[in-house]
Amino acid sequence: MEAVSVITGIAAPLKRSNVDTDQIIPAVFLKRVTKTGFEDALFSGWRQDPEFVLNQPAFAGAKVLVAGPDFGTGSSREHAVWALRDYGFAAVLSSRFGDIFRGNSGKQGLLAAQLTEADIESIWAAIDAEPGREITVDLLSKTVSVGSLTVPFDIDDYTRWRLLEGLDDIGLTLRSEAEITDFESRRQSWRPKTLPVK
Amino acid sequence: MSETRGLTLAEKVWNDHLVVKGEDGAPDLLYIDLHLVHEVTSPQAFDGLRQAGRPVRRPDLTIATEDHNTPTLGINKPIADLTSRTQIDTLRGNAKEFGVRLHSLGDVEQGIVHVVGPQLGLTMPGITVVCGDSHTSTHGAFGAMAFGIGTSEVEHVLATQTLPLKAFKTMAITVEGALRPGVTAKDIILAVIAKIGTGGGQGYVLEYRGSAIRSLSMEGRMTVCNMSIEAGARAGMVAPDQITYDYLEGRPHAPAGADWDDAVAYWNTLQTDDDAVFDAEVFLDADTLEPFVTWGTNPGQGVSLSENVPDPSTIIDANDRANAERALEYMALTANTPMKEIAVDAVFMGSCTNSRIEDLRAFASVIKGQKKADNVRVMVVPGSARVRIEAEAEGIDKIVEEFGAEWRFAGCSMCLGMNPDQLAPGERCASTSNRNFEGRQGKGGRTHLVSPLVAAATAIRGTLSSPWDLEQAPELATTDELATTAPKAV
Ligand code: SF4
């Protein structure tokens, strides 16, 4: 997982509340057997609509999604984060996130930044004034800036540290490599082994 | 956990797998002794490893089998359903690429992952077992700490052979007394779930204790532990004893020689200490237990077979009442109907709850020499290819076919209907599986969870029945007789 510190890119406004994980990625896509390549599945129910924000040329290549409240509620599917990440998003801003979605994001390098509803609206207004403009999400200072506007966001310290260090769950555990190896050296010989095949 | 008091079985196993003790509320890092893999929850885990350039840390502690999607007829033909075929082909590719042992369809060790582990002697007391499948709790029957995990955790275990985990609470479920003939492990666990509810075990590891549990065979203990998850628990355990050792000794991967002696010496220390304290305790009387059957759409909605469909209007809790009303509507049942008057369209004998050799023997002992009811289709699906072979050696396949039932190849089958074995909308089934959720066995299908003995009697009479309702009550084998020659693969 790559470390995250300062994200600068086009911000796409998603002016809807309660976007649950079924809307982020419908269940039919869960049959796939890969962990990447879900960019086509993102918001697939809305992508047919030419007016949908991600279909507007100004927001092509967007890196930051500025969403309404209660983003990522509903089913716990990790695919929701994969789809956002595969599409190219590095950060999602909202005034409230589904708990499991927020947890999954932190584990997979997607920055879920919580702002006040008023600040989200100010950012939307700034984007409306100049669609396609760049925004900066700074994890070091925990701020979002667009033009002359700079507002703070919230993220728990542990998740912030992991994102800054680029540690996924496995990377985190592998910091205890010495302890794991030591444990293995003490593992009794009667314990199960699947190989060789008997 | 204070220093002064004794430890429970679960705490002992946990402590013996601590790689790093979590501080300041961080989770403990636990070592995993055995990782079971199947085709549904593993593809993305392997893909994650591939992307990160990580190997499987311990292929020698990992084993895979194909079960959820496999057909139970025509197993030599290509799998028709594209999703099923893709999942299986993906597992085959991944197993090869990462050096993981795989038992594919057609292989003598193929079967439901929770049947294969114990049968090979890989599941043993005092170990940690995980699998991307909630019914991993089955393996707790051996005194192992065994629980289901999600796909990202599967990747984690493949990469590190460890899992960060927060300690579970412990609950003792004590079942004292002697089961009457015809009452089985399945009836115990259905009664437990009806008693504590589908959320009653949440956050707990259950330890099943008491004389009724001690007298169960390993197959029976696996049935009980299998359904711990249906009470919301993470895992279920039974302390190991001579029955455990007798089942294990001589199996292909069981310890041998000096290792066996060391292992038994250690396993004997795993009993919960007399002065240990459980976070919660539940008691159940085995003497009065009757065959149990579900009427609703969760495993907690069950009654004794001799009772009636409950009347929701008598349920005080508004939530439970609404749930019961909805369940009766889905199940197309009328309150106060005697359970025994409910006619079924199908009987499914199989699943990781009840598809081991002893379950098949129990089923066969009831149907032997009889004919199935005309309008009922009956499917018998052994839990593994090995169980199928063993059953055929005993003539069980013939008994099943003469009865008019279908004798199938091993797999999960109609337990969840990911393969073509499904109920049609509106069909009603007496099933030895573990979940009676809406649509679980096929869209619109209606499931009553039962024991193998009840499944057999129901297949004969066409209505939910126990063996005692048959004109000629069969001679039921005793638990000992059913268990004596459990197959030990070569
Ligand atoms: S038999 Fe049913 S419950 Fe058991 S592993 Fe297969 S699908 Fe899951």
In terms of phi and psi (left: phi > 0; alpha: psi -120 to 50; beta: otherwise), the region of A124 is alpha
Model ipTM value: 0.93
CA-atom Rg of chain B in angstroms: 22
Q: Which of residues 218-277 of B touch A (CB under 8 A)?
A: 252-253, 255, 259-260, 262-263, 266
* Residue B99 half-sphere exposure toward CB, CA atoms < 13 A: 12
Q: One-letter amino acid identity for B101? A: R
Query: If we measure between CA atoms, which residue out of B43, B16, B14 comes closest to residue B27?
Result: B14
**Which residue bears the tokens 């925990």?**
A142
Return phi, psi of residue A134, to 5°.
-85, 155
* Residue B3 half-sphere exposure toward CB, CA atoms < 13 A: 0
Of the partner residues B31, B60, B83, the one whose CB lies closest to the CB of residue A31: B83
Element (H, E) at A113: strand A111-114
Confidence band (pLDDT; 50, 70, 90) for A74?
A: confident
pLDDT at A65 over 60: yes
Query: If we measure between CA atoms, which residue out of A34, A77, A31 comes closest to residue B84?
Result: A31
Query: If we measure between CA atoms, which residue out of B34, B213, B11 comes closest to residue B114?
Result: B34
Of the partner residues A183, A192, A193, the one whose CB lies closest to the CB of residue B19: A183
Atom of ligand 1 nearest to the CA of B355: 1
- Quote the CA–CA distance of B165 and B185 in Å, as a whole number: 30
Give domain B9-282's CATH number out of 3.40.50.720, 3.30.390.30, 3.30.499.10, 3.40.50.620: 3.30.499.10
Of the partner residues B124, B152, B253, the one whose CB lies closest to the CB of residue A198: B253
- Quote the CA–CA distance of B48 and B485 in Å, as a whole number: 43
Q: Name the minimum distance, in Å, from the CA of B374 to any CA of chain A.
A: 38
Of B351, B356, B421, best ligand 1 pocket probe by most atoms within 8 Å of the beta carbon: B351
Tell me whether residue A190 is in a domain: no
Start-to-end CA span in chain A (Å)? 38
> Dihedral (C-alpha) B194, B199, B205, B209: value to the nearest 10 degrees?
-10
* B contacts of A193 (beta carbons < 8 Å): 60-61, 253
- Residue B251 to residues B32, B122, B237, B293: CA-CA distances in angstroms? 21, 8, 21, 34
Q: Is the CB of B434 under 6 A from ligand 1?
A: yes
Q: Helix or strand or coil: residue A28? A: helix
Most confident range, picked from A12-26, A65-79, B241-255: B241-255
What's the confidence (pLDDT) of residue B488? 59
Q: In sequence order, which residues have a C-beta less than 8 Å from that of residue B157 and are 6 or more positions away?
A: B32, B35, B130, B149, B163
Do residues B296 and B258 lie in contact, with contact meaning Cβ atoms separated by under 8 Å? no
pLDDT digits (tens, 9 = 90+) for B424-472: 999 999 999 999 999 999 999 999 999 999 999 999 999 999 999 998 7
Query: If we measure between CA atoms, which residue out of B213, B203, B15, B220 comes closest to residue B126?
Result: B15
Q: Where are the domains of chain B?
A: 9-282, 293-469
Q: Name the minimum distance, in Å, from the CA of B44 to any CA of chain A.
A: 5
Burial class (CB in 10 A: 0-12, 13-18, 19+), A76: middle
With vertex at residue B112, the alpha carbon angle to CA B107 and CA B115, rounded to the nearest 5 degrees, is: 100
Kindly determine whether residue B51 and residue A78, on different chains, have CB atoms separated by under 8 Å. Answer: no
Chain B contact probe: residue of A179, A191, A198 with most B CBs at under 10 A: A191
Instruction: Please report, for the domain that includes residue A154, its CATH number.
Output: 3.20.19.10
Residue B131 annotated as part of some ligand binding site: no
pLDDT digits (tens, 9 = 90+) for A155-191: 999 899 999 999 999 999 999 999 999 999 999 999 9
Tell me whether residue A71 is in a domain: yes
CATH class (in words) of the domain with range B293-469: alpha beta
Of the partner residues A183, A188, A195, the one whose CB lies closest to the CB of residue B262: A188
Strand partners, B28: B165
What's the confidence (pLDDT) of residue B483? 63
Do the domains B293-469 and B9-282 match in fold? yes
Confidence band (pLDDT; 50, 70, 90) for A198?
A: confident
- DSSP-derived pairing of the beta strands B62-65 and B34-37: parallel
Residue B127 in contact with partner chain A when CB distance is under 8 A: yes
Residue B429 annotated as part of some ligand binding site: no
* Parent domain of A115: 6-167
Number of domains in chain A: 1
A151 Cα: distance to centroid of ligand 1 (angstroms): 50
Do residues B451 and B465 lie in contact, with contact meaning Cβ atoms separated by under 8 Å? no
Query: If we measure between CA atoms, which residue out of B7, B271, B164, B120 comes closest to residue A158?
Result: B164
Q: Name the minimum distance, in Å, from the CA of A33 to any CA of chain B.
A: 5
Q: Angle at which helices B357-367 and B452-461 pack, to 10 degrees?
A: 30
Kindly determine whether residue A192 and residue B52, on different chains, have CB atoms separated by under 8 Å. Answer: no
Token pair, residue B165, equals: 């985990």
Strand partners, A114: A94, A154
Q: One-letter amino acid identity for B398? A: K
Q: Name the minimum distance, in Å, from the CA of B490 to any CA of chain A.
A: 8
Intervals of chain B under pLDDT 50: 1-2, 485-486, 489-490
- Quote the CA–CA distance of B27 and B15 in Å, as a whole number: 13
Please name the residue of chain A whose CA is at the shortest distance from the CA of residue B258. A190
> Dihedral (C-alpha) B113, B119, B125, B128: value to the nearest 10 degrees?
-20
- 3-state SS, A165-177, equals HCCCHHHHHHCCH
